[in-house]
Every structure is written in structure tokens, then in C-alpha cells.
Amino acid sequence: MSEHMLPEPVVRIEEVRELARDLVVIPNRRVQLVPNIGVIGGTHSVLVVETGMGPRNAETVLKFVAEYAAGRRLYLTTTHFHPEHAFGAQVFAGEATFLVNRAQAEDLAAKGAAYLDMFRGLGEPVARQLEGVQIATPDVVYDDAYDLDLGGRVVRLRAAGRAHSRGDQVITVPDAGVMFTGDLAEAGQFAIFPWFPPHDTDVSGTRWISVMRRLADASPRVVVPGHGDVGGPQLLADVRDYLELLRDETWARRDSAVSEQTIVEEVRALMIERHPEWAGREWIEKGVGCLCAEHPA
Ligand SMILES: [Zn+2]
């Protein structure tokens, strides 16, 4: 979410990739504010992961999924409440059972409207996709863990605990070794820290590091990040390494009573040097701000 004009965040049913039997991803093609969208099938049901931003994108997704499901029952879940992941859920009402973890449902109810306003300010192309958004209410809410039986395939939905947002959820398909991380992991870009004090300070760099360690322990074969190219387990290690380095470099300077502005400048330069090819450089500063606030006094 930088100040410059973002491109139209449109989901396109292109380059759809089969990651395992009856499991496909509609890739984001590295378009900002378009998420990777998962479609996971079993004998009697199909689970959709993420809606795309706004009703028109969600209609595109629903049309594809309805054809793909060929009469099977539909479920929808989202990795967290952010607009490009969840603000199309209204389109699935009556077509799919919308199922999420409790912390995410609470995020959506408490902060959905404020995020709608904030994202409308990101430029005309984004505002256009957000026209007509109504914050949806999930049909089923679980606390920490839910095993969804699609018929011959059980998908694990797990609340991650507060990290990128308060209500992050990770979806794994054990028989295929596939993990959907949402924005807990991105490929080819710096970790997104939605650090917007005083409005939203739920992101936690330190908790995020713990979550990444846990996700790596699960040893998935395939990792579908929130944004960017589908990868392997190295993706989880890369994010963890980045977050740890960001924390260590920030805290070392904080210990030496360096001003926050100098910390930002120095750490930003260091991270860009380390990852010159990564996009989203504006998120480094947000990450430093978050980790300064988490510095043990
Ligand atoms: Zn997000």
C-alpha cells in the first residue's frame, strides 16, 4: 500500500496451476492487491481459499469454482480479513458455507469498515474494485482448529495466533503437502507489516517469527504464499530469516539508543542490500516501527 497509483487489482483466471490432484491455484501473477486463490476438491465438496478484492473479482472466482466443482458442495474460507483476501465473501452467500477462525471473524467485524475506507484511499483502480462491498458475516466460526472433510480428503484449518494480523489462519492439505499461508509469507517481496498506529497495531513481528518456526516444522512440500510465486518450504525459511534479521538489526540499534528515524534509514538500506530484487520496500519501515514498539525495555 504505497502512495503511488496501484494497478487495477483484478483476478484473472489465467495460468491456473494444478499443485496436486484436484487442487489448483489461481495465481496472482505478481499483481499487487491480488491474492493467490486456492481451490481444493474432495469427492463431495470443494473449498475455496480467498475471494479476491470486491464483488466483481469474487464473481470471477465463484464462476470458475462453480464450474470446477461440477455440482459438489462449496465452502469458502479466507486467510485473514484484509480486503484483497476477504472482501468478496458476500458474493458467495447462499452458494458456499463461509467458514473462518474466531479471531479473524472478530477482525472482520471490528476493523472491516475502517479497512474499506483506508483501501478506498489507495487510488481510483482500488476504489473501483471496492464499490459495492458489504462486510460479510461468516456462517461457521471455530476457535483454534477445524478439520474440514471434503470427501476422501481432510483439510486442516488452523488459527495461527496473532502475527501479520490478529486473526491469521493457515490452511493445509496434508495428503498433498500443500500449505496456504496468506500474508504470513510472501514470495519476492518484503513482509507486509500493517503497522498503522494508532488505528491498527495488531501486527506482531516477534509472534510472527514464532509462527514461521511452527509452520516450517510442519514441512510442507508446497507453500502457497499470500502474494507472489508458489514455492517450497524454503519460502518459509526465507521469511523467518528476514524477520529475525529485521528484529536483530532493529533491536541492536534500539539498545544503543539510536533514534527511530536513524534506525529506519540504516535498517532499510541493509535490507535492500540483502534483498535487492524484493518488491514492497515501503514495508521495511513499518516493520521497524512495529519491532521498535516490541523492543523489550
Ligand atoms: Zn494481509
Query: Inter-axis angle of helices 234-255 and 205-217, to 10 degrees?
Result: 150
> From the CA of 284, how far away is ligand 1's center (Å)?
15
Query: Is omega for the bond preceding 198 within 30 degrees of 0, making it cis?
Result: yes
> From the CA of 186, how far away is ligand 1's center (Å)?
10
Task: Walk along the chain (297 residues) and give the pLDDT tens digit of each residue.
Answer: 444 567 799 999 999 999 999 999 999 999 999 999 999 999 999 999 999 999 999 999 999 999 999 999 999 999 999 999 999 999 999 999 999 999 999 999 999 999 999 999 999 999 999 999 999 999 999 999 999 999 999 999 999 999 999 999 999 999 999 999 999 999 999 999 999 999 899 999 999 999 999 999 999 999 999 999 999 999 999 999 999 999 999 999 999 989 999 999 999 999 999 999 999 999 999 999 999 999 998
Strand pairing of 154-159 and 169-173? antiparallel
> From the CA of 90, how far away is ligand 1's center (Å)?
19
User: What is the pLDDT at residue 272?
Assistant: 98
> From the CA of 70, how far away is ligand 1's center (Å)?
31
Which strands, in side-by-side order, build the sheet including 154-159? 145-149, 154-159, 169-173, 178-182, 222-225
> From the CA of 217, how far away is ligand 1's center (Å)?
23
> From the CA of 135, how far away is ligand 1's center (Å)?
16
> From the CA of 20, how far away is ligand 1's center (Å)?
25
> From the CA of 273, how far away is ligand 1's center (Å)?
25
Strand pairing of 145-149 and 154-159? antiparallel
Nearest to 37 by CA among 222, 192, 168, 230: 230
> From the CA of 163, how far away is ligand 1's center (Å)?
10
User: What is the pLDDT at residue 4?
Assistant: 57
Residue pair 295/250 in contact (Cβ under 8 Å)? The answer is yes
User: What is the pLDDT at residue 1?
Assistant: 46
Place of cell 510442507: 220
